[in-house]
Every structure is written in C-alpha cells, then in structure tokens.
Amino acid sequence: MVERPKTQSEITVDKERIIAVITRALEARKNGEGLFARRVIPPEEQFIGLANEYEEKAGFDGFALHTLFFITPTLYAGNSTEQLELASREPMFYLYSYLFRPDEVVKRDEEHVLEDTFNYIKPSGNRAALYRWRHNANVLVTQYDGDIRNFFTEHDHDAPKILEALMGPKRKTDWEGFHRFGPKIGVLFLQWVHQYGFAELNKINEIGVPVDWQVARLMIQTEGIILPGKTHKHWVLDKTLIPFFVTLCQDHELSAQEVSETLWLIGNRLCNNYRHDICPLTDFCTSLVSRDLLDEKGLFDPKDVGRWKKRAEALRIKKAKRDRQRQKEAKQTEMEV
C-alpha cells in the first residue's frame, strides 16, 4: 500500500528550535570548532578561482560570471561537490571554455553543444539543464547582448526582482526567457554572484536561503520541523522552508549566505560521513534520514535510518550504493549521447 504524501498543513515548524540550531552552527564556525577548526573551502570556490584565472589570461570580460550562470543549473543536491570538481578539471575546462561564452555557444547547433557539455562535466544529476544550455545562451545573446549583467541592470540590481524574472512561469512551454532556474537554483546563483563580487545586488537577504537536501535534512534531524510521515518535497521546500528562511533572515538580520553555507557544510561534510563526533549540532540531533525516497519519488521520509551505525559500516554501505548508481548513470549516458 502506498502512503499518501502529507501536506504543508501537517508540518510542524519549531521556530525557536531552528533559531537555536542556526545560532549554534554559526557559533561553531566563528569559534573554529570541529569541522571548522580549519577553514572549510566551499566546493564552488575552486571552480570560481579557475574561471577568474582564465578570464584574466584570456581577457574575456565577464567570463567568470557566465561560468556560474551556466554551471549552477547543472548542480544537484546529491552531487554538487562532485560536479564542481569535475567542472574544475583544468584541461577539460580550457578545452570546452567556449561553453561559457554565449556568443560562441550560439554558433554551434544544439547537438554539438549537448555533446560537448556531456563530455565536459559528465553529469550525474541534473541532466535536464544540459538540454537548455544553448537555449539560455541564445536568450543572453538575443535579449541581453550576450551579457547577464544587462539582465541585472534591467531589473535594477534588485535581487527579488531578478529572482522572479530568472525563474519565470512554472509552465515554460512557450517561455522565451531562461530555463532551469527554480527557487533553489535561482537563489543559489544570485547568492554566489553577490558573495564572490560579480555584481552588487540590492536586498540580497530578501531572497532567503537556497534550501536543498542538506539544509532540509538538518531541519528534520534536529526537529526544527516535524513531518507527519512521508512528505512531498514541494510542501517541505517550496511551501515551508524556503519562505520560512526568507522571513527568518530578515527578522533576525542574518546573512542568508552565511546561514545556508554553514548548514550545507555540516550536512555535506558531517552527516554524509557519519561524523557525529565532531558535529556542533549533536545536542539537537535526533536522527539520520535517508534521501533514497527523495530521489525515487520526491518524498522526504523522516524515518531514522541508523544514526547509531558505526561509521565504517555506514560508509561501506554508502560506497556500495554510490557504485551501483554510477554504473546505472554510465549506462544512461551511453544511451543519451
């Protein structure tokens, strides 16, 4: 029997507990505790560094910003670190650098661009974004003179306005604007644009936090939100956590970028590797949840899958599962290309 996914009205949000969790996480980062004893380099930093270096050598103004524009929609919660590492391989980056120049992309046909994007980043997650790569380049060239900064200017460098225009309507069958920028990806892109100094965006904290699997799982595991059972991601992310974090950051004058990055690092580096021993949220944590059902059916499952497991055993199981997934994706890639 398939359980009917629960709705937003049945999700309990404990605002005070979430504030306590975030406060503790930010405190640990500020004090250099555990995971943060050494500076933790976010996965996008190496990629952006490579892009900036290429821009300086090649003399293409705005090149690094456009690498972010094209690569961010390809990221997927379960593989963003790996995907950015692949994108940062210097020989491949230089070989396919034209993919980040809209004027050069539109000179190639769809099939050519698609083949090159697959060869360049070998996607293990959001493949759909690759099929819209040339479309987005064409929008830049035909509507914004090939420069995303003109798009920012058109919307007064106002982050909420830019985000709304970037996402466009939900149904994009005849939409002539950008594709593959949903609420999470759109916020993430603009956050990085502002954080790494590519453009000064006004009201950046008003667009909230790019809530993905890592942030949502921490909220579930620390009982910041309590789900009544298997719950569709639409209710957990779009209807509950994303608007909640927008209000929270505004009301408490928190940096959305710092909050999202800190929570993401804890989930990615600690929860993913069963490092409860150095986690600053141990006193809040009640469980460890799995993303299997999220990948399969788009559902968050609050069931504890084994926070008690020994790290070695957990990592062995995780590796076996990852190997099976990679084999499956490799076969799928062979069929698509």
pLDDT reported for residue 298: 92
pLDDT reported for residue 122: 77
The dihedral built from the CA positions of residue 121, 125, 130 and 136, taken in this order, carries a sign that is negative
Angle at CA of residue 182, ends 179 and 187, nearest 5°? 115
Phi, psi of 180 (to 5 degrees): 75, 20
pLDDT reported for residue 2: 45
DSSP summary character for residue 78: T
Q: Looking at the whole model, is its pTM more than 0.85? A: no
SS3 of 225, please?
strand
On the 0-12 / 13-18 / 19+ scale of CB atoms within 10 A, 59 is exposed
How far is CA 83 from each of CA 26, 72, 74, 126, 182, rounded to the nearest angstrom?
26, 10, 8, 10, 19
- Region of 223 (left: φ > 0; alpha: ψ -120 to 50; beta: rest) is left
pLDDT tens digits, residue range 55-104?
999 999 999 999 999 999 988 766 788 889 999 999 999 999 999 999 99
pLDDT tens digits, residue range 122-159?
766 567 788 899 999 999 999 999 999 999 999 999 99
pLDDT reported for residue 334: 62
For each successive 10 residues of the chain (337 residues), what is the average pLDDT? 59 96 97 92 93 96 97 80 90 97 96 94 73 94 97 97 89 77 91 95 92 94 96 93 93 93 94 88 93 91 78 64 71 61
pLDDT reported for residue 326: 74
Element of type H or E holding 232: strand 231-232
**What whole-number distance in Å separates Cα of residue 298 and Cα of residue 110?**
30
Phi, psi of 225 (to 5 degrees): -125, 145
How far is CA 246 from each of CA 156, 164, 186, 253, rounded to the nearest angstrom?
20, 14, 14, 11
